[in-house]
Structure 1
Amino acid sequence: MADRLTLGLDFGTESVRALLVDLRGREHASAVAKYQHGQIIETLPGSPKKLPPLYALQHPQDWIDSAARATRRALRTAGAKATDVIGLGVDFTSCTMLPALRDGTPLCLVERFAREPLAWPKLWKHHGAQAQTERINRVARERGENFLARYGGAIGLEWFFPKMLETLEHAPRVFKAAEVWLEAGDWFVWQLVGGDATTLPRSTCQAGYKGMWSADGGYPSEDFLRALHPDFTRVVKDKMPGRLLAPGVSAGGLSVAMAKRLGLREGTPVSAAIIDAHAGVPGAGAAEPGTFVMVLGTSSCHMLNSVEERFVPGVAGIVRDGILPGFVGYETGQAAVGDAFDWLRRLAGQRDLRLLSQQAAALAPGADGVLCLDWLNGCRTPLMDGSLTGAFTGLTLHHTPAHLYRALLEASAFGVRWIVDLLREHGVPVNRFVATGGLPHHNPLVVEVYADVLGAPITVHPCKNGPALGAAILGALAAGAFPSPNAAIRAMATARSASVVKPQRSHRSAYDELYIRYRELASHFSSP
């Protein structure tokens, strides 16, 4: 094979995708392998005992087994040899995390802990640490901890430290036995490259956005951790060894054992991990600062790289080197997007959204008086409150499901506009919009409404596997194939066949007025 290839491994909630691309970004093969155990939400493997509510766990062996199957299948499809692959990148759900021994063995695979739920990896959507999250936020506010400013004033329920503290308080035997706590993405990269726990590669992306770490201040202080729980004081020093690496920096070469499992060459450079949604930034061709990348799916993550570091209230993560080396990465998001649309579809008794979309597209802005508040799964940015609920107002007997759907689309777009306004008001430039993920490709009306509400064109990147492509780009950087992230992204993810959705000028004044009403409705429903 004349073309050198890079491999992107994209770990989702149910499966892993292996994507092989060349250094011009051309896809040679893609393969998906499901996890044998999927999401563990009812019972542990081999146990009849029901798990507590809000638990969501995974089996770590699934990650290795599925990655091996997907990689070998992709190599066969591409007709590629192990020597054709020059680098490997990994993106992973976050915060999915686990306790392990110092040799990397997950604690759940140690026989005496196999029946302990909190010894298993906690999936990102595990919501068992509500009380611990509330305490972390309360104590941090009382102490005036500086790290809160990087997260818009609140730590999230799904993050790293709440889940550790949950284990300490609900399964102290597990907490005591855990020698290493780490993100699943970091664990997988560690398994790929091997080595001692003291040098295990931790991603600045995962640490910065979900682990309360910064390049300037490190992790929270021992004084703060002691204030949370006396036995939590030395958790960073004693149970979080490793070195911090930015995505795209080489974590090491593929070990002999893992090279054999994956069908690749020993020593193949492996990039430090990145959060799955954040991999969509390089995957969407966003090489320059000021590009607002909307990864639109079940929920939405919006990412932006900037040369400016500004602490913006309500923005969930502001991390230097968090997405790409050399930039300050901003993360925002909306908790219900694609799943909210699907909820309305089911409520309306429709098999799919096509008919609703056709009917909604025929309606004028404002959905004939129906206004929606899109907090059907709480509000991420800017209010960081999972307890908030959604609403529809202005309903009459003549309204149809299409009116509700149009109003829900518009509300989702108003939420994005609020986020963009917030960034700009605090000195963070937003110059360009790119949409990626599943929704823009199979639901174009979403992008049309977003463009109208934002009053700006939106580029829809043609790649349907944006995070996997982003991971592959990081693999190329780890291999030294490009002199900079900018060069790699321009070569491998330039959207040569991208479509651009332009706003309809005739809709601007109507949406400006509706946006004001949306903000008034949000103020009413978020007031105590």
Structure 2
Amino acid sequence: MDDVVIGIDASTTAVKAIAFTRDGKELFQARETYPLSNPKPGHFEQDAEHWWTALLGALRAVTDKVGAARVAAISIAHQRETFTLIDGGGKPLIPAILWLDERARPQVIRLSAELGREAIRDWSGKPPDPTPALYAIAWLAEHQPRALHNAAAIVDVHGFFVHRLTGRLVTSTASADPLGLLDVENGSWHPRLVEAAGLRPDQLPELVAPGTVCGGLSKGVAGLTGLRAGTPIIAGAGDGQAMGLGMGVHGAGKSYLSLGSGVVCGCYSQEVTTSDTFRTLVSPTGSGFMLETVLRSGMQLVDWIVRTTGSASAAALEKAAVDVAAGSDGLLVMPYWAGVMSPYWDGAARGAIVGLSLDHEPKHLFRAVLEGIAFEQAIASEAMEGQTGGKPTAMIAAGGGTNSELLMRIMASVLERPLSVSPVNEAAALGAAMLAASAVGWFASPEAAAEAMTAAPTRHVDPVGDLVPFYRTRKEIYRDLYHATRDIHARLGEVGEEV
């Protein structure tokens, strides 16, 4: 009994509840989806009640399979920056505003001017950008002031779930941090940022460190899920940090590379450090910090190419692109289809395809996109590692992009380092499970849980010797592309706004 922990991964599209054993093996997984609303350009919303229904369904499915008596604890990883407002009974007052949302670009400009761009970055760890909830909350203060004033609390996904599961209004510092309201160094709400958002201190959940027991499962929810009343609910973390922990990245010497819809790279830092070249986040272990670079448009560009060119599939394009020479016959792609976060933090930036000729075909574009993603990551990693003491000895990759042999060869060659591929399919949920396992005493710390519950990578991809110097030269040309197109994209955006 009590030999299983459940890790929750509440992503942008679904809740996954996964039962893990003490050695990190997945025993059973249940997945419940929910819709995403895009009511206006740049507005991305969800109904938090859909999250709750999905969570209950996933937990019920896992409990039915493994048995309530085996579940020692539950912990939560979740889509970051996403939030909603609730009343005193926990009912959502507005549609949840997602991390994808871009409605608050004017508030980014205003708050940067009022508080100082560097001050916001150094307080919160995050350069001003529409992604943190701070700016969307300020948007609500301007456009829906009554809803903001009447709200009992603002909650991230973790806080919403914990309140529903236990009755306590509490969230993890590693969950709330991406909202952009925390003093990242001290792990407490920052009064200036809270005031700038238009919030009152009494509207903020209690903060606890990841791995803390938030409370026990209420009798009412126990009846809905089949779990035992009082089952410990353990403070988790945002999905990015939890994913790193689930991949075994919890201290110096390793970094993670997530090749998903977006491309996220992170490494551990014992000391707080802030910069425009990365975001600084609370570590999921509660000790130290995680530094991250983010490319918003990653593997979704592959889907874009398939759709736009009318190709049969990504696999067919990749098969054709393998025979294209490195450099894609003079084609260069800057993959800013969704703007750029680190290191430029420029929402007006857009993608660029340079060097097109009548000889180019979809296969050339496919390879050039993969090369552009790799160039972008290399420049981001160089900037981050230049401020943190050099290259980590190991980089562990995960996500759908690792299924592309061509991308992995290009990425290793451009980064000039070997890549290990994580054998973990559900790293965010496993990271949450590690926090649960540590909290119930299976292991002495989250770090010890990560060592015990993470399988060693068995697949490794080395740089291709001849490609390294070629891509090194090519990367320097790519480095100038943003600066060459920045003003053009800004002017195009201004013309669009006027129309």
Q: Which residue matches 1:519?
A: 479
Offset of residue 201 of structure 1: 1.8
Instruction: Tell me, in whole angstroms, the C-alpha distance in 2 between the residues paired with 1:137 and 1:93.
Output: 25
Partners of 2:252 and 2:267 within 8 A in 1: yes
- TM-score of the superposed pair, with normalisation by structure 1: 0.87
User: Is this contact kept in 1: 2:124–2:180, CA < 8 A?
Assistant: no
Match of 2:221 in 1: 258
Q: C-alpha offsets along residues 177-209 of structure 1, whole Å, 9 cap, x if unaligned?
A: 1121121221112221223xxxx2222123323
Deviation readout 1:42-72 (Å, 9 max, x if unpaired): 4xxxxxxxxx443222222222221121122
Q: How far apart, in 1, do the equivalents of 2:434 and 2:310 lie?
A: 42
RMSD: 2.1
Task: Name 2:79's counterpart in structure 1.
Answer: 93
CA distance in 2 between counterparts of 1:397 and 1:481 reads 62
Match of 1:28 in 2: 27
Residue 288 of structure 1, CA deviation: 3.0
Give the Cα separation in 2 of the matches to 1:206 and 1:422.
Answer: 26
Q: Note closer, same or farther for the CA distance 1:429–1:254 as it changes in structure 2 (3 Å cut).
A: farther
Q: Normalising by the residue count of structure 2, what TM-score does the alignment of the two structures yield?
A: 0.92
Distance 1:261 1:438, change over 3 A: farther
**Equivalent-residue separation in structure 2 for 1:522 and 1:494 (angstroms):** 39
What are structure 2's unaligned runs of at least 5 residues? Answer: 491-499
For 1:16 and 1:148, locate their aligned partners in 2 and report how far apart those are by CA, in whole Å: 31
SS of the aligned residue for 2:466 comes to helix
Assess if the C-alpha contact under 8 Å between 1:219 and 1:236 holds in 2.
Answer: no
2:42 corresponding residue in structure 1: 54
Instruction: Return the alpha-carbon distance in structure 2 between the equivalents of residues 356 and 150 of structure 1.
Output: 45
Aligned to 2:493: none
1:54/1:521 CA distance change after superposition, 3 Å: closer
Whole-angstrom CA distance in 1 between matches of 2:126 and 2:446: 31
How far is 1:151 from its partner? Answer: 6.2
Q: Secondary structure at the match of 1:505?
A: coil
Q: Percent identity?
A: 28
Answer whether contact 1:92 1:274 (CA < 8 A) is retained.
yes
Indicate if the aligned counterparts of 2:277 and 2:384 stay in contact, CA closer than 8 A: no
**2:63–2:225 Cα contact (<8 Å) kept:** no
Q: Partner letter of residue 120 of structure 1? A: P
Per the TM alignment, residue 277 of structure 1 is displaced from its structure 2 partner at its CA by: 2.4
Instruction: State the partner residue of 1:6.
Output: 5
Structure 2 residue 141 is the aligned partner of structure 1 residue 179 = no
Q: Which runs of 5+ in 1 are unaligned?
A: 43-51, 108-118
Kept after mapping to 2: 8 A contact 1:312/1:422: no
Residue of 296, 307, 326 corresponding to 1:365: 326
Aligned to 2:189: 219
Q: Structure 1 247/352 Cα, relative in aligned 2: closer, same or farther at 3 Å?
A: farther
* 1:92 maps to amino acid: H
What CA distance in whole angstroms lies between the structure 2 residues aligned with 1:57 and 1:247? 27
State whether residues 80 and 178 of structure 2, in contact with CA within 8 Å, keep that contact through their aligned partners in structure 1. no
| Gap change, CA 1:429 and 1:304, over 3 Å in 2 | same
The residue aligned with 2:51 is 63
1:203-262: per-residue Cα shift (whole Å, max 9, x none)? 21233232231243843434x666x58xx3xx241321x322232222222222222222
| Contact 1:151–1:314, Cα closer than 8 Å, also in 2 | no
Is 1:449 aligned to 2:410, yes or no? yes
- Distance apart, 1:152 and its partner CA: 7.0
Matched letter for residue 334 of structure 1:
L
Number of residues paired by the alignment? Answer: 486
Runs of 4+ aligned structure 1 residues displaced above 6 Å come to: none
Shift of 1:154: 2.8
Map of 1:47 onto structure 2:
none
Preserved CA contact (<8 Å) 1:7 1:20: yes
> Which residue does the alignment assign to 2:354?
393
Q: 1:217 to 1:322 in 2, by over 3 A?
A: closer
Alignment partner of 2:313 out of 352, 355, 377: 352
Equivalences for residues 113-128 of structure 1 within 5 A: 119-128=94-103
* Distance change (3 Å), C-alpha of 1:13 and 1:437: same
- In the alignment, residue 25 of structure 2 is paired with which amino acid? R
Secondary structure in 2 matching 1:10: strand
User: How many angstroms apart in 2 are the aligned matches of 1:344 and 1:171?
Assistant: 39
Choose the corresponding residue for 2:272, options 306, 309, 312: 309
User: 1:146 aligned to 119, 125, 137, which one?
Assistant: 119
8 Å Cα contact 2:194-2:200 kept in structure 1: no
- Offset of residue 323 of structure 1: 2.7
Contact kept, 8 Å, 1:360 with 1:403, in 2: the verdict is: yes
- Distance, in Å, in 2 between the alignment partners of 1:61 and 1:146 is 36
The DSSP-based 3-state class of the residue aligned with 2:221 is helix
Q: Secondary structure at the match of 2:8?
A: strand
Q: Counterpart amino acid of 1:473? A: M
Separation of aligned partners in 2, 1:21 and 1:287:
19
The reply on whether 1:193 has 2:166 as its aligned counterpart is: yes
Alpha-carbon distance in structure 1 between the residues aligned to 2:389 and 2:136: 32
- Aligned partners of 1:318, 1:516: CA distance in 2, in Å? 27
Query: What are the equivalent positions in structure 2 for 1:124-523 lying under 5 Å apart?
Result: 124-141=99-116, 146-149=119-122, 154-195=127-168, 200-214=169-183, 215-216=185-186, 218-222=188-192, 228=196, 232=198, 235-240=199-204, 242-315=205-278, 317-319=279-281, 321-431=282-392, 432-440=394-402, 442-495=403-456, 498-523=458-483
1:446-466 deviations in Å (ceiling 9; x for gaps)? 222111111111111112112
Aligned 8 A contact 2:112 2:120 in 1: no
1:15 maps onto 2:17 in alignment: no
Q: Does 1:40 align with 2:37?
A: yes
Q: Partners in 1 of 2:4 and 2:375 — Cα distance? A: 41
Change (3 A) 1:217 1:295: closer
What is the distance in 2 between the residues matched to 1:54 and 1:411? 25
Letter matched to residue 511 of structure 1: Y
**Distance apart, 1:511 and its partner CA:** 0.8
Would the aligned equivalents of 2:285 and 2:435 in 1 still touch at CA under 8 Å?
no
- Which secondary structure state, in structure 1, belongs to the residue aligned with residue 182 of structure 2? coil
Contact 1:67/1:262 (CA < 8 Å) preserved in 2? no
Aligned counterparts of 1:343 and 1:23: Cα–Cα separation in 2: 40
Which residue identity does 2:15 align to in structure 1? V
Q: Which moved more, 1:456-465 or 1:149-158?
A: 149-158
Residue identity opposite 1:137 in structure 2: S
Query: Is the contact between residue 304 and residue 331 of structure 1 (CA under 8 Å) also seen in structure 2?
Result: yes
What secondary structure, in the 3-state scheme, does the structure 1 residue paired with 2:480 have? helix
Task: From the superposition, tell whether residues 399 and 422 of structure 1 become closer, same or farther in structure 2 (CA, over 3 Å).
Answer: same
Q: Counterpart in 1 of 2:494?
A: none
Q: Per-residue displacement from partner, 1:422-449 (whole Å, max 9, x unpaired)?
A: 1122234431211112221x32322221
1:82 corresponds in structure 2 to: 68
| Contact preservation (8 Å) 1:87, 1:479 | yes
How far, CA to CA, are the matches of 1:206 and 1:472 in structure 2?
Answer: 15
* Alpha-carbon distance between aligned partners in 1 of 2:433 and 2:51, rounded to the nearest angstrom: 18
Contact 1:409 1:446 in 2 (8 A): yes
